[in-house]
Every structure is written in C-alpha cells, then in structure tokens.
Amino acid sequence: MKKTTVINSELSTVIAGMGHMDWLSIGDAGMPVPMGTKKIDLALTKQLPSFIDVLKNILSELEVQKIYLADEIKTQNPKQLTAIKELLPDVEIAFMPHSDLKKNLANTHAFVRTGEMTPFSNIILESGVTF
C-alpha cells in the first residue's frame, strides 16, 4: 500500500504524470467540467471533502510554481482566497474572469471535484520543478 499522503489512485496517477508547467485543477461541487477533461470526483456530500482539504493533500505531493484563480473570489469568497494564500505564500497568483477559468479547465490534466459549496472555490495549479 502507498504510504505517502495522496492515496486516491486516480489522483496519484495524475500527479505522478505531471511535468513542468502542466496544469491540474481543483474545484467546488458545481464547477462545470469541459467534455474531454478527466474528472476525478472526490465529492461525497456537501462540504465533504472541502476544497482546502483537497488542496492541502495535493500540495503534499505536487510542486506548484503558479496558481490561477477567478477574479470574483476577491469579493465573493475572500475567506477562501486568504486560506489559499496561506497555503501558497510564495507562489505567483494570476487572476482572470471566472468564465476564462472555466474555459481553461480544458487545458488541465484533470479536474478534481470536491464537495465544496462556497462560490468561486476553484483553482488551476501550474506544476513547477523540484530542482
């Protein structure tokens, strides 16, 4: 049995296959996923698992150099924005309209669906390198 923190087999496989500048997305339960984008559905019920719990888990194994967030998170969910910044204090943040973030999901290796029920709890992670 795998002994590191990401034990979901689909998610672990995606992370292991990521290269420099590849994208992985995590989102709330309502985020629409483009046809053709792999969806790893972790949602069990409302708020379980939370967006932040899933992000923490992924960050334990994925080196991230940049993140992409919706502009709307600044005003519609500032608490979530603060939590994201606390987890990624030295990582560059690029903001874009939510509509553009949704379109960009088509360029990610996978979308990880959480049980999160707060608005604009969506992120694209850009992988970095560990050397």
Dihedral sign of CA atoms 60, 63, 66, 69 in order? negative
Catalytic residues: 20
Is 100 known to sit in a ligand binding site?
no
* Segment 73-122, tens digit of pLDDT: 999 999 999 999 999 999 999 999 999 999 999 999 999 999 999 999 99
Helix (H) or strand (E) holding 91: none
Tell me the per-residue pLDDT of 29-83, one tens digit each, with 9 for 90 and over.
999 999 999 999 999 999 999 999 999 999 999 999 999 999 999 999 999 999 9
Would you say 121 is a known binding-site residue? yes
Longest Cα–Cα distance in the chain: 43
Predicted local confidence at residue 1, as pLDDT = 82
Domains of the chain as residue ranges with CATH? 9-127 (3.40.1650.10)
User: Average pLDDT for residues 11-16, to the nearest whole number?
Assistant: 97
Nearest to 65 by CA among 96, 24, 104: 24
Does 77 show up as a binding residue in the annotation?
no
Classify residue 21 as left (phi > 0), alpha (psi -120 to 50) or beta.
Answer: left
